[in-house]
Structure 1
Amino acid sequence: MSLPIVILPGYLEGATAYIPLEKSLQALGFPTVTVPLRKRDWLPTVGGRSMMPILRILDRTVKQTLKQHRASQINLIGHSAGGWISRIYIGEKPYTIHGDIVESEQLWGAHPHVATLITLGTPHISLERWTKRNLDFVKVNYPGAFYPQISYVCVAGKSIFGARKKGSWLAYNSYQITCGNGETWGDGITPIEAAHLEGAENLTIEGVRHSPKSPGLWYGSPEILPLWTKYLI
């Protein structure tokens, strides 16, 4: 039997946007649950603040899933910011850089319970001042595919080339503040080079856009799923 899956939504997104992905994974035989976030749950994190409000709900969901399925491990899927927040959760270093939590709360160190981490369009680096502090914590403490016992799969989309022209400005600006180069390929939000990690199974999928609300294909589209679900345990 496949391990249960927990999906962590992207920044400022609620769980309802991931219901189609959740159902598609269930149809493939994977018991799946999405962390029950609402858009307003993200508000305390805006402006580069602590991700503790999200980590608390993620931890509760993971523990409930392990208990419900009598499992010792899960597959964890993080979309966009959900990917690097998952890396904070997996890691063992106390996430106390914002001074809003004491070490004894232990909302991290989950690596023994994660068999596979799949990140979808996750910016694993950033030059943007509001996100840089959190991402630097991850990058410095857990470089690359840090835990050898975890299978890291990092999925990037190649659908929009950033350019200073109509229709490509959003991609250009997003890529620029993420990796320092706006004229590159990505999914419209995350450039390819930022979505991959050294030592991971790095995939680049043609035609895939960033968000579940994007027109056309995104990472969770039924046609795309076979390209990365084959790495799930």
Structure 2
Amino acid sequence: MPLPTVIVPGYLESAIAYRQLQQSLQNSGFPTVTVPLRRRDWIVTLGGRSVTPILQQLDNTVKQVLQQYNTSQINLIGHSAGGWISRIYLGEKPYLGRNDVQPSLWEAHPLVATLITLGTPHMSQERWTRWNLDFVNNNYPGAFYKNVRYVCVAGKTIFGEKRRGCWLAYSSYQLTCGKGNTWGDGITPIEAAHLEGAENIVIEGIKHSPRSPQIWYGSPEALKVWVQYLV
């Protein structure tokens, strides 16, 4: 039986947005649970503040899944910010967010067999995001833990340009990697979505958000590309 999988929602997203992905994975034989976040749970993290409340819910979910399935490991799927938050969760360094009183320590890498990140911005030039991402990249650069399989999935859909229909992508890419004229999924540029030492994948024609009316990372067409890494 495949290991159970935990989905970590992206920034300002709720678990509801991942219901279809969760069902698709279950239909494919992968027991799957989504961290039960609500959109309002992210409010306390705005402005670059601590993501400890999200990490706590992730940890609670992982522990419940380990017990429910009587297993010692799970797979993690982190969409967007859920990917770099998962990298904090794996780590052995105390995490002290900007508004935390006490540091938190998760040390979850022995519990995770595979981490799949979907459209995750693993870098940022934006000042509110950089504190958390600098913590991740300074302490756990690249595919840091050798006992964890890192799979980073990027989308090649929109080339950022200063013209109608491409402005949002251009601005988002520039805030993320420092240049707007590059390819990405409309929010995250390819170069930011990959990690050194990981198994890095590019899928053409997919959009960033699970709320997109078009194909996104969790759509059946994209899922068939990366679901093999959960085996």
- How would you bin the TM-score normalised by the shorter chain? over 0.9
Q: Which residue of 2 aligns with 1:45?
A: 45
Q: Which residue of 1 aligns with 2:122?
A: 124
Q: Which residue of 2 aligns with 1:184?
A: 182
- 1:40-73 C-alpha deviation (Å, 9 max, x unpaired): 0000000000001101100000000000000100
Aligned equivalents of 2:94, 2:195: Cα separation in 1? 22
- What is the one-letter code of the residue matched to 1:38? R
Q: Which residue of 2 aligns with 1:14?
A: 14
Shift of 1:101: 4.4
Shift of 1:216: 1.4
Q: Which residue of 2 aligns with 1:206?
A: 204
Q: Which residue of 1 aligns with 2:113?
A: 115
Aligned equivalents of 2:221, 2:100: Cα separation in 1? 42
Q: 1:163 aligns with which of 161, 164, 171?
A: 161
Shift of 1:24: 0.1
Aligned equivalents of 2:50, 2:211: Cα separation in 1? 26
Shift of 1:215: 2.5
| 1:82 and 2:82 correspond | yes
TM-score (norm 1): 0.97
* Unpaired runs of at least 5, structure 2: none
- 1:20-55 C-alpha deviation (Å, 9 max, x unpaired): 000000000000000000000000000000001101
User: Please, which moves more after superposition, 192-201 or 217-226?
Assistant: 217-226
Q: Which residue of 2 aligns with 1:145?
A: 143
- 1:187-225 C-alpha deviation (Å, 9 max, x unpaired): 000000000000000000000110011121100001111
Query: Which SS does the other structure have where 1:211 is aligned?
Result: coil
Shift of 1:226: 1.3
* Unpaired runs of at least 5, structure 1: none
Aligned equivalents of 2:156, 2:27: Cα separation in 1? 27
Shift of 1:98: 2.5
- What is the one-letter code of the residue matched to 2:44? P
- 1:90-120 C-alpha deviation (Å, 9 max, x unpaired): 11100014351434x53x1100000000000
Aligned equivalents of 1:143, 1:41: Cα separation in 2? 28
Partners of 2:208 and 2:216 within 8 A in 1: yes
Aligned structure 1 segments of 4 or more residues deviating by more than 3 angstroms: none
Identity %: 70
Aligned equivalents of 2:200, 2:89: Cα separation in 1? 21
Q: Which residue of 2 aligns with 1:55?
A: 55
- 1:163-189 C-alpha deviation (Å, 9 max, x unpaired): 001111000000001001101000000
Partners of 2:117 and 2:153 within 8 A in 1: yes
Aligned equivalents of 1:57, 1:139: Cα separation in 2? 22
Partners of 2:208 and 2:217 within 8 A in 1: yes
Aligned equivalents of 1:60, 1:9: Cα separation in 2? 15
Query: Which SS does the other structure have where 2:18 is aligned?
Result: helix
Q: How many residues align?
A: 231
Query: Which SS does the other structure have where 1:78 is aligned?
Result: strand
Aligned equivalents of 2:13, 2:224: Cα separation in 1? 24
Aligned equivalents of 2:177, 2:4: Cα separation in 1? 33
Aligned equivalents of 1:76, 1:199: Cα separation in 2? 18
Aligned equivalents of 2:91, 2:44: Cα separation in 1? 22
